[in-house]
Structure 1
Amino acid sequence: MRVLVVEDEKKLAESIRVGLRQEDFVVDVCNDGISGLWSATENSYDAIVLDIMLPRLNGYDVLKEIRRRKIWTPVLMLTAKDGDYDQTDAFDLGADDYLTKPFSFIVLVARLRALIRRGTPERPNIVSVGSLRLDPAKRRVHRGEHEITLTAREYGLLSYLMRHAGDIVTKSEILDNVWDSSFDGSENVVEVYISYLRKKIDIPFGLHTLVTVRGMGYRLMADQPDEEASVGASVNAAESASAGASADGAS
């Protein structure tokens, strides 16, 4: 059984390597996200142990790119972070299991063997919020049966919002997770792209799911009718009916 370990704490990585070799695993180790991604895509593994907080490219982005390339090797995420949202992010992106540091080596081995026994069925992980669906493997977005064409930045923003559906996310959180870390422009760019998204995922469908929470940030909700659009439609319908009645009276 061949396993890739992507972990930047070199002592921990070496400890995992030695322990797994004693359990009859063949082990490759990488200490940053870029080299880990290269190994994961260029070699065949039975499982991947992937830290989240990695230099050069974080574990979330490594996992996202692995799945985008349709590599379905089971992935067990390692992290010092401990929270429901961290786990949700990992699972939404296609992780198969999750361990929080510090962990028992016995548990790590047991989890790896369970993942390997399960195998690697192809399972693109569709993210859904109401009628909105995002396919990370194909990078395609649909509202119901209608496909929505997005730019790369719009896609990244929508993906982040969908993975945090129902939560309020701030402009700074969006910039940290969607824009490059070297971006030093105004936070107002977020407002611009929120507007772009609304024009593609909400307005054509008479919905209001991408909500501005004044003074706090933005929240993506399940399908909700756009009340202003509904009122406008009702007014137009009433005016049309009134005009029709007047015409009938005149005749």
Structure 2
Amino acid sequence: MDHINRGPVSAAASRKTGSLLVVDDEPTVLELLPAALRYAGFSVTTAATGRKALAAAYEDPPDLVLLDVMLPDMDGFEVIRRLRELPGVVPGERAVHIPVLFLTALDTTEDMLNGLRLGGDDYVTKPFDLQVLIARIHAVLRRTSGTSGTLLTVGDLELDPEGHQVTRGGVPIRLSPTEFRLLHFLVANAGRVMSRTRILEAVWRYDFGGDPSIVDTYISYLRRKVDSTEHKLIHTVHSVGYMLRKPRT
């Protein structure tokens, strides 16, 4: 069944307007909708199950999730419950709120109210008009994109937790999602020594069962990208762990 009423869509391929995660188990939707959204200027990833959606949202949080309710492993209402409970990068910190727009064939008032009560930011039923959907995506992003002054700085290093951007001396630094979480944790705890165990718990979470030396490996990755100048930020405290501090002048 074709759930998408197509119409002319303004091309904005040269200007990305946000990152979207489309969660739906219908192959047609996962094929056609992301293509249309990319044409409209969005960066799009997809997931066909609730578990894959949660993993994707945790690994690289999107600006907005388009979420179907009827999924093969758990319904969309359970997905948003778990999404709202995802931990932040720093222990005890809640994750940045990821807007959710329900996109589903369930069109009863009870379903709509349930989705909104659980933290949904909008609710669109299938079939839908593509231009209207894109307009509503933009509306949600406008409502939820206000910055809260959370730019973190240590010396000439700047880290934007919400925008997932890092610069040093004004020069952008490209980091993988894991490298970003590790740097965010160190910046948020600047001036304090963090043990490998605490870093593992914060960055790789409590279910990590691999080799703790992965911390040393990723610290070396960060040093190559962040500490390429003589003014070093990341320091080893032997037999204890690592700390990030402003270079002494």
TM-score when normalising by structure 1: 0.47
Higher relative contact order (CA 8 A, sep 6+): 2
Please identify which structure carries the higher helix content.
1
Larger Rg: 1
TM-score when normalising by structure 2: 0.47
